[in-house]
Amino acid sequence: MSRRFPWVLLLCLAVWLAACYGLRFGFMEDGQWVGVCAEPAGIWQCQLRSALGLTIHWGVLAWLAVLPAVLGFFIPGRIGQILAAIGLFFALPALVLYTASLAVFALVIAALRLVRAPRAGI
């Protein structure tokens, strides 16, 4: 692993977190979209907003974060790191989009796996 990789990962995670907050406050909680989507119009943005709401309600993002994070925690080597990064990728929007209980678990497990020192001999 190169010396610049953690900084690149942190920068990408910061941009991803900002995009998730933009989605939350600009699309899900904005009063304009609440008013437009209250009427039974077939606007594709309202359908996307509804599907995202159901995804949040069912906790799909949180489970998409937990599964690779836990697998990545137990699988050694590069594959485990990649799975942990995927778990971290899904944990951030799950945290921002109201599924914090499972997402915190996934975030902690994925972060612990990413900062773990490689084992000797592997």
Residue 86: which pLDDT band, with cuts at 50, 70 and 90?
very high
Does the pLDDT value for residue 66 go beyond 80?
yes
- The two tokens of residue 94 are 């799950």
Q: Is 60 exposed, middle or buried (0-12, 13-18, 19+ CB in 10 A)?
A: middle
The size of the chain, in residues, is 122
Does the pLDDT value for residue 15 go beyond 70?
yes
Highest mean pLDDT (candidates 24-33, 70-79, 94-103): 70-79
Whether 85 and 110 have beta carbons less than 8 Å apart is answered as yes
Provide mean pLDDT across the span 67-93: 92
Question: Percent of the chain, pLDDT > 70?
Answer: 92
Specify the higher pLDDT residue, 107 or 4: 107
Q: How far apart are CA 75 and CA 63, in angstroms?
A: 18
Give first-to-last CA distance, the chain, whole Å.
14
Residue 9: which pLDDT band, with cuts at 50, 70 and 90?
confident
Which helix (H) or strand (E) segment is 58 a member of? helix 44-58
> 3-state secondary structure string, 72-94?
HHHCCHHHHHHHHHHHHHHHHHH
> Tens digit of pLDDT for each residue in 34-60?
777 777 767 888 888 888 888 888 989
